Amino acid sequence: MNVQYSIVGGGIAGLTLANLLQKNNIPFQVYDKSPAINPKGHGFIIPQEGLVILSEILDWDQIIRKGNYIHLYEAFNDRGELLASIDTGGVFAISRPALLESLYERIDPANVHFNKEIEQVTVKGQQIRAIQFTDQTIIRPEMVVASDGVGSMLRKQIFPTSNLESVGYHEVVCTIEHPALVEFLGKRLLKFHHHAGGRAFGMLKISPTKLIWYVQFDTQRFPLQAGSATALKQFIEENFGNWCAPVQAVIQASDFQNAHHWQLFELHHLPTYAAGNTILLGDAAHPVLPFTSQGVVSAQKDAKVLTELIKSKTDQETLFSTYSDTRMAEMQEHFENGKAMMNNFLLPLKQQSVGIPMSVKIPAGNLRRAFRSTSQNPPPSGINVAI
């Protein structure tokens, strides 16, 4: 008989896996703490590799209509002077709720259970024997997929020595509806960098009517305590309010009730992505810095690699080690890229090797053709560009 996979966490990783398993007639159940598909969240960039996985499971024409292709990345300084202009080769921007909805739509609703927040986990060795949810229901899973996000409770149970550590920058993200600004942005991602480094403001269209903006800031130089919408507004106005016109226009059009202060972490001391009867997927296994734009696509690739291994009917030991080794090797590269991008971002703009942040491989030709940085260093070939 086929093993049943209990997927705990119905975010991007969990729902991508559920779609892939369903397509291959592999039994699964999804459990998520939200009362329904979570409408919270803003949006992200999905590189080509992620689009290929999505096209396997979703109605592609429908998805395209919900998001926006970004063809051009333009970097500016805070005065609005152009530093670089890069053909991205086509990456896709979409809001998190729109992508979640589309992923959920295709799954048999009988297999998705909401209001299932983990309360207690019974573990023997590294085997999860039972999970009790706050509604007092209990499951006794055969195989667990821990896709419960960056703060994963399941990971903490199985790997108690793994720990999250804050990194030296934070983000504030917000979505706004503004037809004129949306039209102005079109297929471009604009990013403005402060001349002294450590502060950046990005904006892009993520749907026919909405744009997302985000700021990145060095928390040492620009500390922001978790706080109210008023405190967020004040922080943004103080640190970005006198920048060039597009930044000012976006700030003025924003409702800060809708803004989210995002604290960022690195995960340390996780020896493997699969142990006992549990497989870690997505942010539960490997939070990555948003600079790399790899959060969503890495979760999608975890789901794809795992599905292919399950389909191959390999024994559990080989499945666990192959999954873990393959995914860990790739993630290591993104961790290193993320760190390098963060360090670069913290430097004064003139010392930054490239005033560009997306760990998405952009062909070297696209960069060389368009690069107009004030930096003396031309970009190396096949560079990772970060957002």
CA–CA dist 342, 297 (Å, integer): 20
Distance from chain centroid for Cα 344: 20
Span of 37-45, 106-114, 155-163, 307-315 interacting with ligand FAD by CB under 6 A: 37-45
Using CB under 6 A as the binding rule, whether residue 357 contacts ligand FAD is answered as no
Element (H, E) at 202: strand 199-205
Closest CA to 23 of 63, 62, 57: 57
The token pair that represents 341 in the structure block: 């991008």
Question: What DSSP designation does 371 have?
Answer: -
Using CB under 6 A as the binding rule, whether residue 189 contacts ligand FAD is answered as no
Would you say 18 or 310 has its CB closer to ligand FAD? 18
CB distance 146 to 140 below 8 Å: no
Least separation, in Å, of the C-beta of 260 and ligand FAD? 7
Which one of residues 296, 306, 356, 362 is an interface residue with ligand FAD (CB under 6 A)?
296
Would you say 281 or 349 has its CB closer to ligand FAD? 281
Site string for ligand FAD, 300-339 (x = CB under 6 A): ----------------------------------------
Look-up of token digits 């809708």: 258
Using CB under 6 A as the binding rule, whether residue 78 contacts ligand FAD is answered as no
Would you say 83 or 200 has its CB closer to ligand FAD? 200
Residues from 160 through 179 that contact ligand FAD (CB under 6 A): 173
Least separation, in Å, of the C-beta of 378 and ligand FAD? 30
Which one of residues 67, 197, 290, 338 is an interface residue with ligand FAD (CB under 6 A)?
290
CA–CA dist 229, 3 (Å, integer): 47
Closest CA to 44 of 166, 198, 173, 187: 173
Would you say 18 or 86 has its CB closer to ligand FAD? 18
The token pair that represents 58 in the structure block: 């979703």
Which one of residues 77, 147, 254, 307 is an interface residue with ligand FAD (CB under 6 A)?
147
Using CB under 6 A as the binding rule, whether residue 117 contacts ligand FAD is answered as yes
Look-up of token digits 């051009």: 72
Strand, coil or helix: 373: coil
End-to-end Cα separation, the chain, in angstroms:
45
Least separation, in Å, of the C-beta of 36 and ligand FAD? 11
Would you say 100 or 182 has its CB closer to ligand FAD? 100
Closest residue to ligand FAD: CB criterion? 11
Which one of residues 47, 149, 198, 246 is an interface residue with ligand FAD (CB under 6 A)?
149
CA–CA dist 42, 203 (Å, integer): 12
CA–CA dist 317, 309 (Å, integer): 11
Alpha-carbon dihedral 61, 300, 359, 60, rounded to 10 degrees: 0
Total residues at the site for ligand FAD (CB under 6 A)? 32
Least separation, in Å, of the C-beta of 94 and ligand FAD? 10
Using CB under 6 A as the binding rule, whether residue 96 contacts ligand FAD is answered as yes
The secondary structure of the chain in percent helix, strand, coil, rounded to multiples of 5, reads 35, 30, 35
Q: Spell out the residues 6+ positions from residue 170 whose beta carbon is closer than 8 angstroms to its own.
A: 216, 217, 219, 224, 261, 262, 263, 264
Residues from 234 through 253 that contact ligand FAD (CB under 6 A): none
Q: Which residues bind ligand FAD (CB under 6 A)?
A: 8-14, 32-34, 38, 40-44, 96, 116-118, 147-149, 153, 173, 282-284, 290, 295-296, 299
